[in-house]
């Protein structure tokens, strides 16, 4: 198992179908960084507690609203114009890099907040994805796809 959230997120995101599932969940109002964190916590066997979920949401919500979403919005606004303007295209790529760095920073902050949470020795950890996904995404096929990909990644890491 990946000991840090960033490497777990990279490995999971690279699996077939995960990028598309994450983008669909994002369209449903999901925070992809939070959902990737959920899969990491689930793999570590960390128990879902309301105060833990609230702590993660308190980190992710403001960062998404104030940093990630403005960068994403700007990048998306420039999509069409950048196709015909090489200089704007280069600047758009820089904004895309900033957006990725902002998401990495969020994952690092989520990791730091949750890294000391112990694994549940009782085996019952509930479902982090269900807890951190927004209501419209909780029964969406994309969430199921993310859950299956995370379990498959975990099995591969465990050598199953």
**pLDDT 10s digits, 62-85:** 999 999 999 999 999 999 999 999
Number of domains in the chain: 1
What local confidence, expressed as pLDDT, does residue 102 receive? 98
Q: pTM of the prediction?
A: 0.91
Query: Tokens representing 137?
Result: 């995404």
What local confidence, expressed as pLDDT, does residue 108 receive? 97
The more confident residue out of 41 and 123 is: 41
Task: Classify residue 156 by burial, with Cβ atoms within 10 Å: 0-12, 13-18, 19+.
Answer: exposed
Output the 3-class SS for 99-133: HHHHHHHHHHHHHHHHCCCCECCCCCCCCHHHHHC
Q: Which domain holds residue 37?
A: 5-158
Q: Across residues 121-137, what is the average pLDDT?
A: 81
State the Cα angle at 43 between 37 and 48, rounded to 5°: 65
Q: Across residues 83-98, what is the average pLDDT?
A: 98
Position 159 pLDDT exceeds 80: no
**pLDDT 10s digits, 16-50:** 999 999 999 999 999 999 999 999 999 999 999 99
Query: Tokens representing 71?
Result: 């960068």
What local confidence, expressed as pLDDT, does residue 113 receive? 97
């Amino acid at each position: 198992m990946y000991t840090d959230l960033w490497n777990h997120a990279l490995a999971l995101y690279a699996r077939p179908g995960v990028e598309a599932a994450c983008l669909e969940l994002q369209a449903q109002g999901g925070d992809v960084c939070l959902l990737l964190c959920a899969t990491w916590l689930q793999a570590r066997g960390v128990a879902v507690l309301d105060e833990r979920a609230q702590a993660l949401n308190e980190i992710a919500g403001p960062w998404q609203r104030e940093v990630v979403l403005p960068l994403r919005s700007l990048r998306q606004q420039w999509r069409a114009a950048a196709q015909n303007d090489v200089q704007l295209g280069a600047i758009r790529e820089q904004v895309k890099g900033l957006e990725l760095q902002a998401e990495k920073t969020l994952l690092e902050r989520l990791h730091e907040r949750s890294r000391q949470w112990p694994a549940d020795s009782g085996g019952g950890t509930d479902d982090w994805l269900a807890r951190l996904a927004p209501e419209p995404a909780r029964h969406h096929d994309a969430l199921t796809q993310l859950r299956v990909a995370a379990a498959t990644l975990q099995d591969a890491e465990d050598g199953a």
